[in-house]
Amino acid sequence: MTPVVFDLDGTLIDSLPDVTKAVNLLLTEEGQPLLDASVVNTFVGSGEQVLMQRLIAATAFEPGDHERLMPRFIAHYKVAALDTKLFPGARAALDRLRAAGVPIGLCTNKPRAPLIPTLEAAGLDDVFGVVVAGDDLPKRKPDPAPLFHCFQALGVETGVYVGDSEVDAETAQRAGVPFVIYAHGIRVKPIAEIPHDVVFDDFGALDGILAAL
C-alpha cells in the first residue's frame, strides 16, 4: 500500500473544542466577550499566526496586540491540548496501517510547542515515521513543501494525503497527490466545494480506500 501522510486537527483529533477553550481563556483575561466554536472554526487551518490575525480582526484587539497575545494563547493551548480526543476509530486505523507495514507520517500547521503535548495526550507520540509541525519549515500548508518534506523523510517521493479542510485540499493539489477528506473535520466550505478524491466518515473504511488509491 502507498505511504500515507495525515493532517492532525480535524482529521485524527477533535481539536476545535481545545482551540475554542484556549481562545476564550485569552478573551476572558482581556475582558472581552467569548466566542462560539462556530466562529473559532473560521480561524483555524493555517497555523497560529493566521489564527491570531483572524481573532484580532473579529474582536476589539488591535493589530499591535498580536505579539503580546501570541505567547499567552500558545500557553493556554498547550494546557487545553491535554484534553484532546481522537476521533472514533482513528487510532485503530493507524495501528492497522503500521501493522501492514505502511509508512505513515504527520503534516500539520500546528506549531511544535502545543503539538508535542497534544500528541502525548492523544497517545500518538510514537506512531508516525515523521512529524512535520507548522513551524518546522519556512513555509506552511497550503504550500506543498511540508508535505514533500514528509514524504521524503519517509523515504518516498509521493503518497496519499488524508485531511479535512480547504487548506489540506489545496496542499494535496499543489503537491499533485491524491487527497482523502474526513467528513467530520473542521472546514468552512461544504465538502462538495472542496477538491478531493474520496470522502470518508468512518475510519474503519480507510484501509480499503487507501488500498484502492
C-alpha cell belonging to residue 91? 487510532
Active site residues: 7
189, with CB counted inside 10 A (0-12, 13-18, 19+), is exposed
In Å, what is the CA distance from 137 to each residue of 70, 112, 171, 182? 19, 11, 15, 25
Name 199's bridge partners.
Answer: 181
Rounded CA-CA distance 29/9 in Å is 25
Main-chain dihedrals φ then ψ at residue 53, nearest 5 degrees: -60, -45
Main-chain dihedrals φ then ψ at residue 123, nearest 5 degrees: 75, 30
